[in-house]
Chain A
C-alpha cells in the first residue's frame, strides 16, 4: 500500500513486547548506546529503577506539554505514542454504542444494522488501512481499567486518545462517575493520552434537551475534575450520533489532535482559502470520510455534510467507470503516466442560479482529497487560477508528508 508517510513513520510498529519498547525509545542517548544484550540481561531491580525514572520523566514532560500545543509537543519530544498510527480506545458503559461507532466509522456498516450487534466481551481491535492507518480498540465494560490487577500498561501505553462514550438516552450519572475515575486514572498514569467524551445517541432528542444535557454533563465533569485537582486537563466533548454526520465530525477532531502534521496542513489550507475565495476547505481521508485538516474559518456541520456526500458521489462514479484499470495492461500504464504528470483526478459542480462553482474537489493522492465549498464569484474563468493554486498546495502537502 502506497502512503505519503515515510516507512518508518507509518509502518505499524512491530508489535513490541509492551514492556521493552518504551524503554528503547525513551532511553537517554548515553544509555541507548549500550548494547541491547545488556539491557535484556539487566537485573530486575535495574528495570524497576528504569520504570520509575521513566514515569518521572513522563510526568515532567507532560506538565510542560500541557501548556504547549499537542502537535508542537509531538515534534519537540518525539514519543513512541506520537509516532505511527493514531490509536483510539473506546470506553464506556455497556450498550452505550462503542461497537456501533467503530462499525459505522471504520467498517462502513449501515447505522440501522448496528441494532443487531452482539455485546463485546473482549478487547477487540479494528484497523482501517487508508491514508492514515487508523487503529481503534474497544474496551468492554466488564473490564474495569482502574482495578489494580488489570494490565493497563498493555492497553494504555500505545493509545493516543481515550474516547468515553456516554449514552445520553440512558441513566448517565453512573457513566459520569466511572468516566471521572478513568479520567483521573489516566491523568495520573498516562498523562499524554487525550481524553475525549462522546455524548452519544443524540438523535431523536429535541435541540433544547440536547443542549441542556450537553452542558450539564460538561459542567459536572469539569467540576469534579477540578475538585480532584485535574482541572487543567483539557477534555473535549462532542455530541454524536451514528445516524448523521456528527460522529464523523467528532472522530475527525479526535484524529486531528493525534496528527503532528496538523498545523502545517492548516496553514496551507488557510492560505489557499484566502487567495482563492474559498468558503471552506477540507482535506478528506477518502475511504473513512474523516477529515484530517480544515481551514481556520468556523466549521459548520452542514459544510462537512455536503462535502462528505460529494466524496461519496465521486467515489461511486469512479467505481462505476474506473473498471478499465483492473484488466487492461495498457490502461494501467497510461494511468501511471498521468499520475506522474501530477494530473490526478479533480471534480467540480457548478450551479445554475449564479454560474458560480459550488464544490471543487481534487485528489491529492489515492487516499487523500481536497474538497472545497467555493465562495461567491468563483466563476469558470477563474478556474485556471484556482487550479494553479491548488496544484501548489498539492505539492506542498506532499512535502509535508515526505519527512
Chain B
C-alpha cells in the first residue's frame, strides 16, 4: 500500500452506520463500543438524527462514528439538504439490513439511494453490508436467505458503480459472536498500520515460540490482528477470535457486576490459564491493546514468555504514537524489537531451566 493512500485513510476515519429504523444499528454500537450486553439493548430508544461518537482506537486511530437514525424523515434529510455534509469523506459505510424486515424491497431502494449519494461524494469508500438479526431465521433457511440477500445487494451495488471488492457481506446477530466477526473486519480495514503490527507480532511470536498471538483492543475486545504459527493453523475452531472477544466481554461484565464498578473501567492486568496441553495468558501490551498468547504446555517457556511480553511493551508503544514519524520509527522499532528480545529469551529460559 502506498504512503499517500495510507495517509488518506488515516484522515478519513469517518464511519457511517445506516439502515432502516429498528434494524439494530444502535444496538450493535452499544454492544461493541459501550459495554452493553445483548439483553440490555431493548432499553434503547430510537436514534434521533445523527449520534456522533468518537472512539479512540489503538492510540492513533480515531473512529468518528456517525450513528444515523433510520426513520424515513431523517433519511430523507440525509439524502437532500445534508447530503454533502453526511456523505463527504467517508471511510466506511456500514449498512445494516434487517433480515426479518417486512418491507425488504423498500429497504433495498433506500440502500440504493444511500450508496448513490456515497458514490457521489466518496467513491473510494468501503461498504460493509451487515445482514442483521440472523437469529430470527430458522437454521435450515439461513444459507438461502443470506445468499438471496447478498445477491440482491451485490446487483444494487454494481448498478451504482461500486466494484465487487469494495463491498463485503456479513451475517450478524447480537446473540452470538458473528457481530464481533463483522466488526473485526471493519476495524482491520481501518487500522492504518496493520501490516507493521503484524510483522512485529510475527517476530515476537517466533521469539516466544508461541502457537498463537492475538492482539485485541482493550475496551471493545475487538481483535485487531493475530499471528498463527505451526500446527495451530489446523485448529478446527476457525471462529476462535470472535469467540474470544465474546468470552472476554462477558467476563468483563461479570467482573463489573461483582466489583460494583462500571464495565468500561474493568480491565485485568493479567489472566493465566494453564493446562497440560497448552498455556494461555492475556496481558497488557500497549495503552489500548491486550495481547493473548497461546503457548505449548511448558512451564519454563511460559514464564519466559510472560517476561518477554513485558519487555516488548516499550517497542510496541511506538505504534500508538507513530502518526508523524511514520517509516523511520517503524524501522527503528523493528530492529530494536528483535535485538533485546532475543537476548532476554536466552537468559531467561536458561535461568528458568537451571532453577
Contacts and interface: CB of A to CB of B under 8 A. Distances in A.
B277 A321 contact: yes
A364 to B, nearest CB: 13
A206 B1 CA distance: 59
Contacts of A355: 269
Contacts of B139: none
Interface in B20-34: none
Contacts of A299: none
B278 A313 contact: no
Nearest to B260: A302
Please list the 4 inter-chain residue pairs (A to B) with the smallest Cβ-Cβ separation, ordered nearest first.
A338-B276, A309-B254, A345-B275, A306-B258
Interface of B: 211-212, 231, 235-237, 240, 243-244, 247-248, 250-251, 254-255, 257-258, 266-278, 280, 294, 297, 299
B120 to A, nearest CB: 44
B276 A306 contact: no
Given A303-B258, A305-B254, A321-B278, 20 more contacts: A305-B257, A306-B257, A306-B258, A312-B250, A313-B247, A314-B273, A317-B244, A320-B240, A321-B240, A324-B277, A338-B276, A343-B276, A345-B273, A349-B255, A349-B272, A351-B268, A351-B269, A352-B267, A355-B269, A363-B275
A344 B273 CA distance: 11
Contacts of B270: 349-350
Contacts of A334: 276, 297
Contacts of A390: none
Given A317-B280, A323-B236, A349 B271 contact: yes
B216 to A, nearest CB: 14
Range class of the A interface residue count: 35 or more
A321 B293 CA distance: 11
A344 B276 CA distance: 6
Interface in A307-334: 309-310, 312-314, 316-325, 331, 334
Contacts of B277: 321-322, 324-325, 331, 335
A321 B280 contact: yes
Interface in A339-356: 339, 343-352, 355
B251 A313 contact: yes
Nearest to B255: A306
A319 B268 CA distance: 22
B18 to A, nearest CB: 30
A49 B3 CA distance: 98
A349 B268 contact: yes
Nearest to B251: A313
Contacts of B258: 302-303, 305-306
Contacts of B236: 323
A317 B257 contact: no
B257 A323 contact: no
20 contacts: A312-B250, A320-B240, A321-B211, A321-B280, A322-B275, A322-B278, A323-B235, A324-B277, A331-B277, A335-B297, A338-B297, A339-B276, A344-B275, A345-B275, A347-B271, A347-B274, A349-B270, A350-B270, A351-B268, A351-B269
A347 B281 CA distance: 9
B235 A317 contact: no
Contacts of A358: 255, 268
Nearest to A308: B254
Given A302-B258, A306-B258, A334-B297, A323 B280 contact: no
Contact of B274 (A303, A335, A345, A350): A345
Contacts of B267: 351-352
Nearest to B299: A343
A331 B211 CA distance: 14
Given A306-B258, A324-B278, A352-B268, A318 B273 contact: yes
A307 to B, nearest CB: 9
A159 B255 CA distance: 38
Interface in A251-288: none
A65 B350 CA distance: 62
Interface in A62-80: none
Nearest to B247: A316
Nearest to B284: A352
Contacts of B268: 349-352, 358
Contacts of A316: 243, 247
Contacts of B248: 313
B45 to A, nearest CB: 21
A339 B257 CA distance: 35
Nearest to A303: B258
Contact of A347 (B250, B257, B269, B272): B272
A325 B257 CA distance: 35
B254 A306 contact: yes
A138 to B, nearest CB: 28
A355 B274 CA distance: 20
Nearest to A356: B269
Nearest to A357: B270
A303 B297 CA distance: 30
Contact of A348 (B243, B271, B275, B299): B271
Contacts of B211: 321
Nearest to A331: B277
A331 B277 CA distance: 7
B294 A321 contact: yes
Nearest to B292: A317
A310 B280 contact: no
B176 to A, nearest CB: 11
Contact of B231 (A324, A349, A350): A324
